[in-house]
């Protein structure tokens, strides 16, 4: 799992690339804790995610909760179809604001 971060139009964009499962979840959780901004807005770009396990969903929800606590707007962008199905079937999807692309996500957050 690779994470990287850049800023687009004042919004922090964090890209997640690879598999998010129990073996990568602890490290990804730690990285997100560091990368998530304390204020402002953030888009998590999931377009490069090839697999999301149960532990992965929990990492995303923890990130969402943390952002909520800090008043940071958070959007999930470009969720791959299989990941989206998993999130939808288990109800995780409904916690999140979702966008089709990073640009759309940035737009949602600045709008």
Partner 1 sequence: MTGTILPKRIDTEPTSTIAGYSVRPGRPLPFGATLVPGGVNFSVYSNHATGMTLALFRRGELEPMAELRFPESCRTGGVWAMTVFGLDPETLQYGYRVDGPFQPERGDRFDPERIVADPYAALIGGHETWGERSRSDDPYPYRSAVAADDFDWEGDRPLRLAREDLVVYELHVRGFTRHPSSGTTLPGTFAGLVEKIPYLRELGVNCVELMPVFEFDEMENTRIHPETGQPLHNYWGYSTVGFFAPKASYAATGRHGMQLDEFKNMVKQLHRAGIEVMLDVVFNHTAEGNEQGPTISLRGLDNRTYYMLTPDGYYYNFSGTGNTVNCNHPVVRAFVLDCLRYWAAECHVDGFRFDLAAILGRAQDGTPLANPPLLEALAFDPVLQDCKLVAEAWDAGGLYQVGSFPDYCRWSEWNGRYRDTIRRFVKGDAGVTSDMATRFIGSPDLYGGRGTAASVNFVTAHDGFTLRDLFSYNDKHNDANGEQNRDGDNGNHSWNCGWEGGTEDPDVLRLRGRLARNALLLLLTSQGVPMLLSGDEVGRTQYGNNNAYCQDGADYWLDWSPEGSDQDLLRFVRRAVAFRRAHPVLRGGRHLDGRDHGGPLPNVSWHGVRAWTPDWSAHSRLLAAMLYARDGERDDCVYVAANSYWEPLDLELPELPAPLAWRRFADTAEEPPYDVAESGAEPWLADQARIRIGPRAVLVLTADRKTSDEE
Task: State the Cα angle at 5 between 86 and 13, rounded to 5°.
Answer: 60
Instruction: Tell me: does residue 57 bind partner 1 (CB under 8 A).
Output: yes
What is the C-alpha to C-alpha distance for residues 99 and 48, in angstroms, rounded to an integer? Answer: 15
Instruction: Tell me: does residue 21 bind partner 1 (CB under 8 A).
Output: yes
- Find the shortest distance in angstroms from Cβ 90 to partner 1: 4
Instruction: Tell me: does residue 50 bind partner 1 (CB under 8 A).
Output: no
The answer to whether 13 touches 109, Cβ cutoff 8 Å, is no
The answer to whether 11 touches 110, Cβ cutoff 8 Å, is yes
**Residue closer to partner 1, measured from CB, 26 or 100:** 26
Size of the residue set binding partner 1 (CB under 8 A): 17
What are 47's two structure tokens?
């377009």
What are 10's two structure tokens?
């004042």
Which of residues 61, 66, 80, 97 is near partner 1 by CB under 8 A? Answer: 61
Residues that bind partner 1 (CB under 8 A): 21-23, 53-55, 57-58, 61, 85-86, 88-92, 95
């Amino acid at each position: 799992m690779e994470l990287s971060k850049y800023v687009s139009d004042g919004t922090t964009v964090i890209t997640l690339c690879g598999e998010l499962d129990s073996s990568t979840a602890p490290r990804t959780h730690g990285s997100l804790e560091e990368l998530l901004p304390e204020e402002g807005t953030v888009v998590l770009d999931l377009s490069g995610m090839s697999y999301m396990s149960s532990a992965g969903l929990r990492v995303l929800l923890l990130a969402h909760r943390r952002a909520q606590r800090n008043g940071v707007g958070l959007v999930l962008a470009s969720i791959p179809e299989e990941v989206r199905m998993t999130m939808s079937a288990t109800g995780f999807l409904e916690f999140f604001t979702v966008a089709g692309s990073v640009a759309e996500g940035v737009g949602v957050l600045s709008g």
